[in-house]
A and B are shown apart, each in its own frame.
Chain A
Amino acid sequence: MTAVLRRAPLLLPLLGTVVVLAVATDSFLTGANIENVLVAAAIVAVPGLAMTFCLAMGEFDLSIGSTVSLAGVVCCSAIIAGQPAPVAMGIALLVGAAIGLANGLVITKLGVTPFIATLATLVIVRGLSLAYSGGHDQIVSSAALKYLVGGRPLGVPMPIVLAVVATAAGWWAMNRTRFGRWVCAIGSNREAARVSGLPVDRVRIAVYVLVGVAGAGWGLLISSQLQKGNGQLGMGFELDAITVVVIGGTALLGGRASIVGTVLGAVLIETIRNGLNLLNTPPAYQRISVGLLLIAALAIRGIRRAEARTLPVPVPEAAR
């Protein structure tokens, strides 16, 4: 049990939250609600998993929220233009990949700090999304698109299926394949990775493409729910994605990543959000509780780390 907790320290607060909500509400522990929470968690977990690779490399991608919007707009307007839904989804994923590629190239080839480069693409892609949609809702009625959230293969909601597959693939890729190990290697010691001949730039570009594709996938899931795309969707999603990764325990500095942590982080955040809604909490308090949760998660880790050392070694800056 302690071993499990050490590997997945979020289980404890998650269980605590579940117990509190089970007592405080009579609807939390219903099948419908649990499915509801898990679907919401699954939808944020998918991009969170991609973002885990980015943070493991010691970098951020702030542009993901705008990618959500543009992917939705592109997919829906393609369907409106008469493309079959699978083709439209494919185009949207390609657009996500292209945004990721642009991020990767600007960062690796032009040497712009990831923070700023992706901040700039956040602004630009949002502009593209607004310009491309002309500010109009791109409304569709597509069963194929709806299947992304509404489908139930074997009775399991599709987003959960997607998230489980993504988690398994993400865990395998991160912990067992060269790609994942190289991502951690770059996050661990970038200079060494370069000198030892790892394809650093290619890996970095690949990670940004991965985040771009996942962002587009997120956009498709949102557009599947809403049956539309527009320039306003996905505002502020970048912080949502980063938040679940950070709460999940992936080091901000890079080098170490927790795929399972990211998934648990998504579940924890969505559980709390759902619980606050079940308790009819005003939105102001919802914000405060998410903020406090973030601080608490990292404070506990910080204190544990402080206890673990006696010789004062430098605490590296998080923001570098």
Chain B
Amino acid sequence: MKSSTSLGSLWDTWGITAILVLLLAVAPVLTPDFFSLDNAQSVLRESAYLGIVAAGMTFAVASGAFDLSVGGQLALCSVVSLIGFAAGGTVLAIVAALATGLACGLLNASLITRLSVPPFVATLGTLFVFRGLSYILTQDGPKTLPYDQIGSPFVKIGGLNVAGVPVPFVIMVGVFAAAWLLLRRTATGRRVLAYGSSPEAARFCGISANRLRLFVFALVGVSVGIATLTYITRVWTADGSAQDGFELKVIAAVVLGGTSLKGGKATLIGTFSAVLLISVLNDMLVSEGVPSAYQRIVLGGVLIVALTIDGLRTRFAAPGSLRRALSGGRTPQPGPAR
């Protein structure tokens, strides 16, 4: 495909990947057994659930919104999935996870579209609601995959490798491939970008805001449902407190990847690389025995540095883009708008 490439657009798509490659290049020096099979598998396996949700979240951010409830969704999906497993084994566990994710997404979507609650507040509210429901379902203690079910195909999802590649990572790659097709090669994906770029213009392109948001938030829910399958089969347990603060990790990965919080621009490759970058960095800090207080400082610093590069680039680019980069504010609407 021919494209008018500039340094800026290259950075948009590949910047974070470049940093990841750089990090991988120095990783063996800093952490000698970084590329041991076990460690590499561990890095790929542990980030799968984050990556899968980040793929879904990329669509939400591309549409100009985000979903703060994914942590609550993950907890609820996990709890319901474990209940499903206890009741009906592998199949029911998988169906329960996916159905719960979809239901959570649809609830968010209907609050946003039917009650006109801004996505930020709607999903902040449902974050509390989903976690509360998870707590209610686990009042007698966390739900668990029993150890004697270790031979069950469901339990195996988390630990299994295919030709040396962890299954959760395979699922994550599959999700990203599907997400890429959805974003770049379907009408719906294009409409998400169009809507994120200019909701008002999109309306006059025949794009229904309600239908689109329904799709986006349902998609996030489904991605959480899929992520649950790789998450719960790795940690085997869940209750209302599962993955506290998950939402901010996911959004950070998406934005770190280069998807604009203003909407309209998205890069799944960037999200993918950002997820791996966080995982690799975390692995290196942990295996080097850096105390957790300093791990936080390093991870936060990386976030700022990566986005500073992006911020500076936008800032000092052509004057036209300066204007848009700053257009947080609105211009007065013509006519008696309100």
Contacts and interface: CB of A to CB of B under 8 A. Distances in A.
Interface of A: 58, 62, 106, 110-113, 115-117, 119-124, 126-128, 130-131, 135, 186-194, 231, 239, 242-243, 246, 252-254, 282-288, 290-295, 297-299, 302-303, 305-306, 308-309, 312-320
B315 interface: yes
Looking at chain B's contact residues, is the secondary structure mostly helix, strand, loop, or mixed? helix
A130 B293 contact: yes
B199 interface: yes
B106 to A, nearest CB: 15
B116 A291 contact: no
Given A106-B304, A111-B314, A189 B299 contact: no
B323 interface: yes
Contacts of A299: 111, 115-117
Contact of A320 (B209, B314, B328): B328
Please tell me the size bucket of the interface on B.
35 or more
Contacts of B300: 120-124, 127
B234 interface: no
B136 A292 contact: no
A112 to B, nearest CB: 4
A130 B292 contact: yes
Nearest to A293: B125
B324 to A, nearest CB: 9
B255 interface: yes
B64 to A, nearest CB: 5
A115 B333 CA distance: 26
B330 A284 contact: no
Interface in B281-336: 291-297, 299-301, 303-304, 307-308, 310-312, 314-315, 323, 325-333
B168 interface: no
Contacts of B111: 295, 299
Nearest to B298: A127
B132 interface: yes
B323 A191 contact: yes
A317 B261 CA distance: 11
B199 A117 contact: no
B279 to A, nearest CB: 16
B255 A116 contact: yes
B66 interface: yes
Given A305-B116, A314-B203, A191 B331 contact: yes
A111 B261 CA distance: 13
B169 to A, nearest CB: 25
A192 B329 contact: yes
Contact of B121 (A252, A287, A317): A252
B338 interface: yes
Contact of B120 (A187, A297, A303, A319): A319
13 contacts: A106-B308, A115-B255, A116-B303, A123-B299, A128-B297, A192-B329, A284-B136, A290-B128, A295-B125, A295-B126, A319-B120, A320-B261, A320-B262
A297 B111 CA distance: 12
Given A113-B261, A254-B329, A291 B125 contact: yes
B33 interface: no
B132 A58 contact: no
Nearest to B331: A189
Interface in B106-133: 111, 115-122, 124-129, 131-133
Nearest first, the 7 closest Cβ-Cβ pairs linking A and B are A318-B118, A111-B311, A291-B128, A302-B116, A127-B296, A284-B135, A190-B329
B311 A124 contact: no
Given A254-B329, A287-B128, A318-B65, A302 B117 contact: yes
B117 A287 contact: no
A292 B129 CA distance: 7
Contacts of B132: 284-288, 291
Contacts of A186: 329
B335 to A, nearest CB: 8
Contacts of B292: 127, 130
A243 B329 contact: no
A309 B337 CA distance: 8
A194 B329 CA distance: 11
Nearest to B337: A313
B65, B291, B300, most chain A CB atoms within 10 A: B300
A237 B329 CA distance: 27
Contact of A127 (B139, B294, B338): B294
Given A126-B296, A193-B329, A112 B203 contact: no
B160 interface: no
A59 to B, nearest CB: 8
Given A112-B307, A113-B255, A115-B261, A317 B64 contact: yes
